[in-house]
Chains A and B, each alone.
Chain A
Amino acid sequence: MDTFGYLGQGFGVALSPYNLLTALCGTFIGTIVGLLPGLGPINGVALLIPIAFALGLPPETALILLAAVYLGCEYGGRISSILLNIPGEASAVVTAFDGYPLAQQGKAGVALSISAWSSFVGGLMATTGVVLFAPLLAKWAVAFGPAEYFVLMIFAIVCLAGMAGDKPVKTAIAACIGLFLSCIGIDANSGVYRFTFGSLGLADGIQFVVLVLGLFSVSEILVLLERTHHGEQAVKASGRMLFNVKEMMFVLATNIRSGIAGFVIGVLPGAGATLASAVTYMSEKRLASKDNKFGNGDLRGLAAPETANSASACGSMVPMLTLGIPGSGTTAVMIGALTLYNITPGPLLFQNQPEIVWGLIASLFVANTMLIVMNIPLIKFFTKILAVPYWALVPAIAIITSIGVYAVHATTFDLFLMTGIGVAGYILRKMDFPLSAILLGFILGGLMEQNLRRALSISNGDLGILFSSPITWVVWAMVVGMIALPIWRTYRRRAERRAEDAAA
């Protein structure tokens, strides 16, 4: 049977009433879990595995449930990002850059709907990618070794420089702080504990959730306190709840580019949704014309990370299904679930149990469609959050944030750490340092250092390994392109001006 025959069979599995109902439950639970700051897809999936098992769901239904929850979480994470400037999970951090300014301008409904639409497009593109290219991409996923990852990180850092804007020094300092924070904890290469000062709470480094919630949630709580003091209610929901055709066309090119990039990055086991959303945001910003509003509510700045992040969530299924290698923390948990059902993901899965693979792929399509159908009417309901007075909203945010942080280690150490990071973040914010640069530095830092050191231990110190494969050449070329593009633009603008001057 050919691919489409299998896919049709898969839809047969996914569209059975029972499985449809399961997918609906999954998307709903996922949206809620994703919405709560600190709880992400890993929690959602981990929560449902024992339940699925206890209910005695057949394996394909269980997988559909988990896939629906996974995608639902990626959807839900953006809601608190856009409405409250508090990312529901790591990959939604970038969403807040332009999502929150849009909400502040009273366009919360448009922001939510365009991001839902972007997620849908991203998911659709990536799932199509899985159908068409999964076996091919398996090769691509393993072709990325330490050297390739390191060069990719260089590319990401160059993209990051595009964020600098009018305060290059502060952005650079913030990024270095982030890069530095990533080396706290046990060093994965040598096993040395760095900067833990005897604290076991730091043994595994600062947890991502703790940093995100400290920097964004706690500092936002403190900023809201100022606002209450000055008697402002920051964000009002008003106006349209849905984007119009013009806005949709405006972000279309961004959707397509980010969808492809997000999928390709998602397939790489070492990268993930957060990197995908950051890289696409930054490259879209670079590509945009000089008069863009990135950072102040540009719809493209919202569309790029949202498309990329759901595309990458679908992309991370590729190494899981074809190689049995987890493409993300969430797929690692899903592989654990599969073993409970005595299913071993890997190349043999396509041959031995095609109904499971294609049922899952079909259910990605179904869950994706279900999410957009369910999310658009819910926007009205979500924007109601903005009508809740601060005296009720802020304590709720603070408590949910604390639970999210506590859930990581089940120790109160992280609560203190989060408060400390929050206060530091608040001070830095007051001094006009971009907190997002700290966070992106943190994400990139660990990957960059460890992969460089791994690459050099493979080559025994020979730097040539960084230029040794076609992939590295392509990525290096992209690095050069990213640096050259703005220079070339400035040059051309000057040349034009000179031409105008000469004409006048």
Chain B
Amino acid sequence: MSQRIFGVVLLVASIGLALSAWGYQAPFSYEPVGPRAYPLLLLSLLALGGIYLLVKPASAHAVSNEPPLDRHVVRKVTTCVVLLVIYAAVFELLGFIPASTVFAIGMARLYGGSWRASVIAGLLLGVGMYLLFDKLLDVPLPLGILSSLEI
């Protein structure tokens, strides 16, 4: 079933993207191919792939070595994704250290750490990674709400 759903999604997405690709034209260009031929070619191949999955999903069924999903796993995976999204949202807003600390505590809890261990890991990671990357490796990271602390 999931194969069929994916086939439909692929087909619809390809058609939608192809429609928007139709308008890609340079004001003028020097080459015979142009900017839209290649994406259109690939999108039609992808649409064919979608149709194939839709019509013959069983043939695409190989033995999967991934463990099957159950409800608990799905819930955990969703939580993890939500954590990642929140992390991205507050990365600059709160600044790297607070955002990472909170994020790391949440992740550590999710991956089976005790509260104590998670809080310690979170604090160590938040501050440690800042020092490692911003100070040592010269990757500028946002300070956010802590920006008044640094001279």
Contact = CB atoms under 8 A, between A and B. Distances in A.
A binds B: yes
Interface in B122-148: 122, 125, 129, 133, 137-141
A449 B46 CA distance: 17
Given A392-B121, A457-B30, A403 B38 contact: no
Given A391-B108, A391-B111, A453 B46 contact: no
B69 interface: yes
Contacts of B32: 456-457, 460-461
Contacts of B138: 47
Given A47-B137, A229-B76, A430-B66, A395 B29 contact: no
Given A47-B137, A412-B88, 15 more contacts: A39-B137, A43-B137, A170-B60, A191-B26, A192-B26, A192-B35, A391-B112, A395-B107, A402-B88, A403-B133, A419-B84, A430-B69, A453-B31, A457-B31, A460-B32
Given A403-B129, A416-B85, A432-B66, A395 B76 contact: no
B74 to A, nearest CB: 10
B49 A218 contact: no
B142 to A, nearest CB: 9
A177 interface: yes
A314 B103 CA distance: 40
Interface in B2-57: 2-3, 6, 10, 17, 20-21, 24-26, 29-36, 38-39, 42-43, 45-46, 49, 52-53
Interface of B: 2-3, 6, 10, 17, 20-21, 24-26, 29-36, 38-39, 42-43, 45-46, 49, 52-53, 59-60, 62, 64, 66-67, 69, 72-73, 76-77, 80-81, 84-85, 87-89, 91-92, 100, 103-104, 107-113, 117-118, 121-122, 125, 129, 133, 137-141
A225 B109 CA distance: 11
Interface size class of A (residues with CB under 8 A): 35 or more
B104 A419 contact: no
Nearest to A461: B32
Main secondary structure of the interface of B (DSSP, over half): helix
Contacts of A391: 107-109, 111-113, 117-118, 121
- Specify which of B42, B46, B85, B138 lies most central, judged by the most chain A CB atoms within 10 Å of its CB: B42
